[in-house]
Amino acid sequence: MQGNQLGVFVDGRPFGPEEMQRLAREMNLAETVFVLPPNAGGDVSVRIFTPGRELPFAGHPVLGTAFVVGAALEADSVTLETGAGPVPIVLERDGDRIVLRSDATTHPHLGSLRPDRRAA
């Protein structure tokens, strides 16, 4: 296994911001994401926390959460509403496995994703 661990609460509705921060601190992972209902036309809204603070955006948790949401929705693409705006992610399946497409939408915070950097 490669990369940082990521906590994803697939239903963040029961938690307020203080509880989200406390849970992120207790989990002590680089980032913890709380998935919420969409507000602005995306598939879901997300809140991203480190053990010390909330982040408006971070690439690793956005990509990891896109995989979780895409698998749950059986979708080829998802749009995550972040504190930095909506982030569309194009997904591709290799059998039952989701992979990030090499031509995924370029986003100001993600940059351009190279074809040889596929996520698993």
Within-domain flag for 51:
yes
How many domains is the chain partitioned into structurally?
1
List the CATH number of the domain containing 64.
3.10.310.10
pLDDT in tens, 75-84: 989 999 999 9
pLDDT in tens, 52-88: 999 999 999 999 999 999 999 989 899 999 999 999 9
> Does residue 91 sit in helix, strand or coil?
strand
Q: Output the DSSP codes for 5-59.
A: -EEEES--TT--HHHHHHHHHHHT-SEEEEEE--SSSSSEEEEEE-SS-EES--H
Within-domain flag for 65:
yes
Within-domain flag for 102:
no
Within-domain flag for 101:
no
This prediction has a pTM of 0.82
Catalytic residue flag (residue 31): yes
Q: State the residue range of the domain holding 19.
A: 6-88
Nearest to 61 by CA among 48, 73, 78: 48
Q: For residue 89, give the DSSP letter.
A: E
Within-domain flag for 47:
yes
- Among 31, 54, 81, 92, the one annotated catalytic: 31
